[in-house]
Structure 1
Amino acid sequence: MPLIALNKPFGTICQFSAHEKHPSLAEWVKTPGVYPAGRLDTDSEGLLLLTDDGALQARISEPRHKLVKRYWAQVEGAPGADALERLAAGVDLGDFVTRPCMAKRVESAEALWPRTPPIRYRAAIPTTWIELSITEGRNRQVRRMTAAVGYPTLRLVRVGIGALDVFNLELAPGESMNVAVRAPWNGIG
């Protein structure tokens, strides 16, 4: 049962079949028979886990298992403590209210790789990096959360899933590696 960690590059679609506009996961992962455990939008990047084990895939991706996924979001503006508290308490997104989560500023994002293409730069509008640790992962959830509190996301990177961390794994964009599956599945349990 392979468990593969991939640092999904910006612009890659989260499927193996060919796409007319975007590179697919097949460009980066050559192991046959594995599928993503959860998804990242084409314009999001970072840690993606792939496996051929359906039970493990469910433990990673289904919200009922409450596996923590950590995201670094570069947002437009400078959210204060009140905005971070609103994010942490849960945000009403209209169709659902997010679960409480952890939200804090990232003091330095120097550990991140440059994005190609880079985000738009506007000298008059500052940007801030924040970290959100959530246990859900609904469609575009982090982007919707930051926008709902007044700070649209410009760049979104998933940096951790359970105990696995893209920095500790030392994966550059497009790199993947097999990770050992041990109970409780590297914190996935």
Structure 2
Amino acid sequence: MPRLILFNKPCGVLCQFSADGSDKPTLAGFVQVPSVYPAGRLDTDSEGLLLLTDDGRLQARIADPRFKLTKTYLVQVEGDPDEAALTALRRGVALKDGVTRPAEAELIPAPDLWPRDPPVRFRKTVPDSWVRLTIREGKNRQVRRMTAAVGHPTLRLVRWQIGEWKLDGLAPGEWRELEV
């Protein structure tokens, strides 16, 4: 029976089990389950849902863009995106490595999340907003590059959902195993 672990990756944690000379914490400090590997990645400065499995086919199904598994992010951005910025995200954004697939994008109220460590910088003169962004691909640092391309750099990035799997109920650093 394949194992599937939902993990809430804290900010600052490397998305691998070995440190490779880095002084940053790794998955090994949180998930002591043998023979599981991340199905996809999150940048060190991103937080949220990371799926781990011991099944290569399941890992490929989750991570490979050909399967178009949706990934939903809660994104704190600099400024107040207008309808033109949201429409650009919805249509697809031109990046250096090509145009992104159309995304679902909507402004949302500030979600009730855990405090981030380290905290997001606060500036009195620059407002911030939250966007729920759902994509169906996974280019390197894609969400950050998309929001920057429409004039609203990402301040905080939390992956909330991958396909049917959600982060609900997991605090940073916590994990739970599901049957698949």
Q: Indicate whether the TM-score tops 0.5.
A: yes
Q: Identify the residue that residue 20 of structure 1 maps to in structure 2.
A: 22
Question: 2:70·2:136 contact (CA, 8 Å) conserved in 1?
Answer: yes
Question: 2:81·2:152 contact (CA, 8 Å) conserved in 1?
Answer: yes
Partners of 1:7 and 1:155 in 2: how far apart? 15
Q: Identify the residue that residue 149 of structure 1 maps to in structure 2.
A: 150
Partners of 1:125 and 1:103 in 2: how far apart? 21
Matched letter for residue 55 of structure 1: R
Q: Identify the residue that residue 41 of structure 1 maps to in structure 2.
A: 43
Higher strand residue share: 2
Q: Identify the residue that residue 131 of structure 1 maps to in structure 2.
A: 132
TM norm structure 2: 0.97
Matched letter for residue 142 of structure 1: V
Tell me by how many angstroms 1:108 deviates.
3.1
> Which whole-Å deviations, capped at 9, do the CAs of 1:26-72 have from their partners, x for residues lacking one?
01100010000000000000000000101000110000000000001
Partners of 1:123 and 1:35 in 2: how far apart? 41
Tell me by how many angstroms 1:164 deviates.
1.2
Q: Identify the residue that residue 174 of structure 1 maps to in structure 2.
A: 173
Tell me by how many angstroms 1:95 deviates.
1.4
Partners of 2:110 and 2:121 in 1: how far apart? 19
Q: Identify the residue that residue 63 of structure 2 maps to in structure 1.
A: 61
Q: Identify the residue that residue 30 of structure 1 maps to in structure 2.
A: 32
Runs (4 or more) in structure 1 with deviation over 3 Å come to: none
In percent, how many aligned pairs have the same letter?
60
Q: 5+ unaligned residues in a row in structure 2: which ranges?
A: none
Tell me by how many angstroms 1:101 deviates.
1.0
Q: Does 1:161 align with 2:162?
A: yes
Tell me by how many angstroms 1:173 deviates.
0.1
TM norm structure 1: 0.92
Matched letter for residue 9 of structure 1: P
**Number of matched pairs:** 178
Tell me by how many angstroms 1:104 deviates.
0.4
Partners of 2:84 and 2:150 in 1: how far apart? 9
Partners of 2:139 and 2:86 in 1: how far apart? 19
Residue of structure 2 aligned with 1:87, choices 86, 89, 97: 89
Residue of structure 2 aligned with 1:77, choices 76, 79, 88: 79
Report 1:113-128 matches (<5 A): 113-128=114-129
Q: 2:7 is paired with a residue of what secondary structure? A: strand
Partners of 1:131 and 1:117 in 2: how far apart? 22
Partners of 1:179 and 1:126 in 2: how far apart? 39
Matched letter for residue 57 of structure 2: A
Question: 2:110·2:129 contact (CA, 8 Å) conserved in 1?
Answer: no
Q: 1:179 is paired with a residue of what secondary structure? A: strand
Q: 5+ unaligned residues in a row in structure 1: which ranges?
A: 182-189
Computed over aligned residues only, the root mean square deviation of the Cα atoms, in angstroms, reads 0.8
Partners of 2:8 and 2:145 in 1: how far apart? 23
